[in-house]
């Protein structure tokens, strides 16, 4: 058989451009070129949110330009990542209904147990049938706000594979698992690299189902990784368009490799949709009261010291670099007064919690770091506040 090329992206997070001068991300430019007929192109989740530009699209145009981008990138299959749900499941379903790609996830259901997306799809390339089954991290309910997960049920990834792999294997010549989660162990040595929380289980999946799957794509951690875990070839193609992952399929899936996006053959870049309107939006202000209410709604604390140079959307980009930099600290009341002279809190309690984006606070007093897209959360909160007025 003629070789089939499988191309994989993950955690693009709306990264259409490399900088504010509208220099197009080279991976996005590459994906805009029509692929060869023997190419299967898969996106592994966290596509629709994560950049200021994506936030602008979601806030002002219901995310439609991101759908147009996905369709222009010629994806055959896409799966959800945890950040894709930060505007709610209905928003995501509205977006995916407009996709040309098949959108699959085998472990995301409503509370009645009904799948929210098809569990898998089968794509034929030449005479070969390739099955792709989608999975989202089992830890979703712990890293996504309750308002977005209260109507969802997240199945354990192993249970979902046990349920759907047999019927997919009966129909497909080869099976690829597209899993929006990461590696919890070194794939070569098996050395444990993080606590087993259920957030990252790619190593476990490749060992448990190694005889039933032909390859695995993972992501979520924003790592660059490729190789074999036992007999299973795998890819983990970074984040924000920095790389493309590829497999070659002949009589088996092989040659997993990561290609830096700057090394890809790129045609002249496309025009970023609504870019002038986006730049204008960045300079607009939002209400300081809305900002303060947003912080108190999402992040409970006794005292807030979260700096913004100005209450404009561009400052949520510039003052939070990266935009996942909110931390919660715990101090004695005396230490709190020493670190924050303006603290007026007079409390009988001996310990206070403080939310801040300061970088000079004692690391050992940090009790939680919020790994969230602050810009998207603020955008969504602003939209909901306007709708309730």
Burial of 38 (0-12, 13-18, 19+ CB in 10 A): middle
- pLDDT by residue (tens digit) across 110-123? 999 999 999 999 99
Mean pLDDT, residues 305-311 taken together: 90
Burial of 346 (0-12, 13-18, 19+ CB in 10 A): exposed
* Count of CB atoms situated within 10 Å of the CB of 198: 19
- pLDDT by residue (tens digit) across 271-280? 888 989 999 9
Non-local (6+) Cβ contacts of 172 within 8 A are 122, 129, 130, 131
- Enumerate long-range contacts of 20-25, CB under 8 Å, 24 or more apart: 20/279, 22/272, 22/275, 23/269, 24/269, 24/270, 24/272, 25/240, 25/241, 25/261
Q: Is the pLDDT of residue 285 over 90?
A: yes
Q: Are 17 and 25 in contact (CB under 8 A)?
A: yes
Q: Which residue is it, tokens 């909160």?
A: 381
According to DSSP, the β-strands at 4-9 and 152-154 are unpaired
Q: Is the pLDDT of residue 388 over 90?
A: no
Helix (H, G, I), strand (E, B) or coil at 58: helix
Q: How far apart are CA 200 and CA 180, in angstroms?
A: 9
Helix (H, G, I), strand (E, B) or coil at 184: coil
- pLDDT by residue (tens digit) across 76-89? 999 999 999 999 99
Q: What is the pTM of this model?
A: 0.93
* Count of CB atoms situated within 10 Å of the CB of 70: 23
- Say which range, 87-96, 206-215, 305-314, 321-330, has the weakest mean pLDDT: 321-330
Q: For residue 179, what are the β-bridge partners?
A: 135
Residue by residue, DSSP assigns 114-172 as -BSSBSEEEEEETTEEEEEEEEE-TTHHHHS-HHHHTTEEE--HHHHHHHHHHHHHHH-
- pLDDT by residue (tens digit) across 141-159? 998 888 899 999 999 999 9
Q: For residue 368, what are the β-bridge partners?
A: 328
Q: What percent of the chain has pLDDT over 90?
A: 72
Q: How far apart are CA 215 and CA 131, in angstroms?
A: 11
């Amino acid at each position: 058989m003629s070789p089939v090329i499988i191309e994989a992206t993950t955690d693009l997070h709306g990264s259409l451009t490399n900088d504010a001068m509208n220099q197009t991300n080279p991976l996005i430019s590459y994906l805009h070129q029509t692929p060869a007929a023997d190419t299967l192109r898969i996106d592994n989740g966290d596509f629709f949110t994560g950049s200021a530009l994506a936030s602008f699209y979601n806030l002002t145009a219901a995310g439609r330009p991101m759908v147009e981008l996905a369709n222009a990138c010629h994806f055959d299959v896409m799966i959800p990542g945890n950040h894709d749900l930060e505007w709610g499941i209905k928003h995501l379903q509205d977006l995916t209904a407009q996709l040309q790609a098949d959108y699959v996830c085998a472990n995301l259901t409503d509370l009645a147990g009904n799948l929210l997306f098809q569990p898998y799809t089968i794509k034929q390339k030449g005479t070969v049938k390739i099955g792709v089954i989608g999975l989202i991290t089992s830890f979703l309910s712990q890293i996504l706000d309750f308002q977005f997960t209260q109507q969802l049920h997240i199945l354990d990834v192993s249970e979902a594979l046990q349920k759907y792999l047999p019927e997919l294997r009966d129909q497909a010549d080869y099976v690829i698992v597209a899993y929006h989660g990461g590696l919890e162990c070194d794939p070569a040595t098996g050395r444990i690299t993080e606590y087993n929380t259920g957030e990252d289980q790619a190593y476990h999946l490749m060992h448990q189902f190694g005889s039933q799957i032909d390859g695995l794509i993972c992501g979520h951690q924003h790592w660059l990784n490729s190789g074999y875990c036992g007999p299973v070839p795998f890819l983990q193609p970074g984040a924000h368009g920095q790389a493309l992952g590829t497999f070659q399929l002949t009589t088996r899936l092989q040659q997993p490799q990561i290609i830096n996006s700057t090394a890809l053959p790129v045609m002249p870049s496309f025009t970023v949709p609504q870019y002038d309107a986006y730049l204008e939006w960045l300079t607009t202000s939002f209400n300081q009261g809305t900002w303060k209410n947003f912080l108190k709604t999402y992040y409970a604390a006794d005292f807030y010291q979260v700096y913004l140079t100005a209450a404009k959307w561009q400052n949520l980009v510039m003052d939070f670099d990266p935009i996942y930099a909110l931390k919660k600290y715990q101090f004695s009341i005396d230490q709190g007064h020493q670190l924050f002279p303006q603290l007026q809190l007079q409390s009988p309690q001996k310990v206070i919690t403080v939310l801040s984006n300061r970088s000079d606070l004692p690391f050992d007093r940090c009790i939680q770091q919020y790994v969230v897209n602050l810009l998207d959360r603020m955008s969504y909160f602003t939209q909901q506040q306007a709708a309730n007025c």
